[in-house]
Chains A and B, each alone.
Chain A
Amino acid sequence: MATYNLTTPLTEEDTRKLKAGDVVNLSGVIYTARDAAHKRLVDLIEAGEELPFDLEGSVIYFVGPTPPKPGDPIGSAGPTTSYRMDSYSPTMLKHGSKGMIGKGKRSQEVKDACVEYGGIYFGATGGAGALLGKKIKSAEVIAYPELGPEAVRRIEVEDFPVTVINDTYGNDLYQMGREQYEVKD
């Protein structure tokens, strides 16, 4: 279990050194998207149209924040359950995205895509919305404002704490962690 400080956009060199269980403090620009936004982004990719942001090296955060209080860039912003993005993530990774932040298990297809395209699935602490919201220094809706909390935001983070769940070697922290601590009678 190592600790790294990484800045986005991520390169393949960054992602290939990470192992499941490593802790990463992430800084730089990341993008928020949930199911509805993912559907639109993947539709654009498939139609060969331009996306609202550059996918290359991008990290996507699965989050639907609370509305910001006046003067704050964003409200509480912890991760949402990731499996709802499972059908879209392989396409995003194939087209250059290098990281995803969420919570909960991913499908085998997503894990395989992480291995093939050098992507990482990071887990953030679910329900730590106040703490994680504070690590977000600026936020700006860049697409689909009509989706409300589900709109695509460009956010700037500083030392955003995440843990590597699925690495580029096919490891899965959820499986490994559980096997290590499971008590069999």
Chain B
Amino acid sequence: MREIEYSEVVDAVKNMIITTATNLPEDTYDALKEAMEKEKSPVSKEVIRQLLENADIAKNEKRPLCQDTGLAVFFVKVGEDVKIKGGLLKDAINEGTAKGYEEAYLRASTCEPFSRANLKDTLGYNLPAIIHFDIVEGDKIDIEYAAKGGGSENVSRAKVFPPAAGKEGVIEFVKEVISDAGGNPCPPITVGVGIGGTFEKACISSKHALFRDLGTVNEDPEMAELEKIMLDEINKLGIGAMGMGGTKTALAVHIESNPCHIASLPVSVNVQCHSSRHTHITI
């Protein structure tokens, strides 16, 4: 059994939060650059140019890329042969999150659903983090983290279709969600699609699909093909960067699919804005 100090996890998570807030991942930076070259609308081209300049300023001057520094979302794979010494893993992740957000002057954005009271002084700075755990073989802890802003979450949607809806029904649904969203989720976006499973499995899969690096190809050839079709359909909508009209509404569509019940076809669409702040570490 490998032992990891509680404080080691806290520090690792804290550092992850701080660097992610100011560093646009390379895959996203490159994809935006390519989108700028290919974009046909001069207005959208200028918007994407500003986004690249923004990323340079954020990195060089250590300023948050966006003022919405998000809720902290984690996918954590815990090896069966690891033990945290001195506390619970969940507490360590939350503590690292609060420290990272507060020390780096990031925004505390968690609140109560109805009173809208900010939770920073009661639960902790930007707490609670949203954590999805999985148990795997081995003696390591694998942490994927994303700072997820509100604008793109607000347009995300899920629906359980009858099986007869098929691929066409799913493509139509994805198009409808993105079309209704327009410029609100800060395009150029990445679209995560969860297909199959149960209602909640589809939702979680659509979120996790957003963690995949841009430019990678889906391992399942059928889904890879479907991703291409969806991307093409979305970019035909003409929404463009920040909704100002253009040919590059989405950078990519990522699908995660699961086996499902014979009676249903759940689909979830989770949208990621251009400020796709995510990282991955292994402890």
Write the residues of chain A forming the contact surface with B, with a CB cutoff of 8 angstroms: 1, 21, 23, 36, 63-69, 75-78, 80-81, 83, 103-105, 123, 125-134, 148-149, 161, 163, 165, 173-174, 176-185
Contacts and interface: CB of A to CB of B under 8 A. Distances in A.
Contacts of A123: 183, 242-244
B240 interface: yes
Contacts of A67: 105, 107
Contacts of B43: 1, 21, 163, 173, 177
A133 B238 contact: no
Nearest to B248: A181
Nearest to A35: B116
Nearest to B42: A1
Given A104-B183, A173-B245, A126 B50 contact: no
The 3 closest A-B pairs by CB, nearest first: A177-B245, A182-B238, A181-B238
A131 B54 contact: yes
Given A130-B61, A148-B118, A125 B238 contact: no
Interface residues of B, number: 50
Contacts of A131: 50, 53-54, 57
Nearest to B181: A104
B107 A127 contact: no
A103 B238 contact: no
14 contacts: A65-B67, A65-B107, A75-B105, A78-B66, A126-B183, A130-B61, A131-B57, A173-B43, A174-B182, A174-B243, A176-B245, A177-B43, A178-B240, A181-B245
Interface string B153-183: 0100000000000000000000000000011
Contacts, number: 168
Contact of B67 (A1, A76, A184): A76
A65 B69 CA distance: 10
Interface of B: 22, 40-44, 46-47, 50-51, 53-55, 57-58, 61, 63-69, 105-107, 116, 118, 149-151, 154, 182-184, 186, 236-240, 242-247, 273-275
Contacts of B149: 127
Given A66-B69, A129-B54, A131-B54, A180 B107 contact: no
B247 A181 contact: yes
A127 B236 contact: no
Given A103-B242, A104-B243, A131-B53, A174 B183 contact: yes
B16 to A, nearest CB: 18
A130 B104 CA distance: 14
Contacts of B247: 181
A99 B180 CA distance: 26
Contacts of B58: 76, 130
Contacts of A104: 151, 182-184, 243
